[in-house]
């Protein structure tokens, strides 16, 4: 199988590990920086280029799109989808996972237990919201953030 990993660098530990495992299982793997992928649409086809060369076909794409390049990176993932390439994670799923409240809404809608959660537009109602959770201690998070960023 020919696999393409979309990642800013092949030296990122998680990307490097994916490459090692895939190759150990006999797959051919290439790592492409999504910021260097160019896209072309003409109403009939969705074509992808890398370094001004048309990309060779791939069987599957494993997106590893960093938060800092979400907009362009997700457009690249969508372009692979339009080109009918199998995607491990679709752009919509990646985008939804980046929004904490949306992720919790989707989990809850499918009957998956989540921590008791409240949300408001601003912190003016923080005291009232803490009361809805049964009092302190509580964990306060920003709607968007990555890893440890966005936790207060």
Model confidence over 30-43: pLDDT tens digits?
999 999 999 999 98
Do 37 and 72 lie in one domain? The reply is: yes
Domain assignment present for residue 103? The answer is no
Beta strands in 11-142 (DSSP E): 28-32, 37-41, 46-50, 53-54, 60-63, 86-87
* 123 and 76 inside one domain: no
- 67 and 139 inside one domain: no
pTM of this prediction?
0.77
Residue 145 binned pLDDT confidence (cut-offs 50, 70, 90)? low
Residue 87 domain-assigned (yes or no): yes
> Residue 125's pLDDT is what?
80
Q: What is the pLDDT of residue 38?
A: 97
Residue 109 lies in a domain: no
68: domain range?
2-95
- Does residue 7 sit in the same domain as residue 73? yes
pLDDT band at 141 (very low <50, low <70, confident <90, very high): confident
Residue 68 lies in a domain: yes
Closest by CA to 69, choosing from 140, 2, 148, 7, is 7
């Amino acid at each position: 199988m020919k696999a393409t990993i979309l990642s800013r660098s092949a030296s990122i530990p998680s990307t490097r590990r994916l490459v090692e495992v895939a190759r150990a299982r006999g797959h051919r793997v290439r790592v492409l920086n999504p910021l260097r992928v160019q896209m072309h649409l003409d109403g009939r086809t969705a074509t992808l280029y890398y370094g001004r060369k048309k990309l060779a076909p791939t069987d599957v794409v494993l997106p590893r799109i960093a938060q800092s390049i979400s907009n362009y990176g997700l457009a690249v993932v969508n372009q692979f989808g339009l080109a009918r390439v199998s995607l491990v994670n679709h752009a919509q799923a990646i985008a939804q996972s980046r929004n904490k409240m949306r992720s919790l809404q989707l989990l809850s809608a499918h009957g998956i237990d989540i921590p008791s959660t409240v949300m408001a537009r601003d912190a003016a109602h923080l005291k009232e919201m803490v009361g809805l959770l049964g009092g302190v201690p509580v964990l306060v998070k920003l709607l968007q953030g990555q890893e440890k960023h966005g936790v207060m």
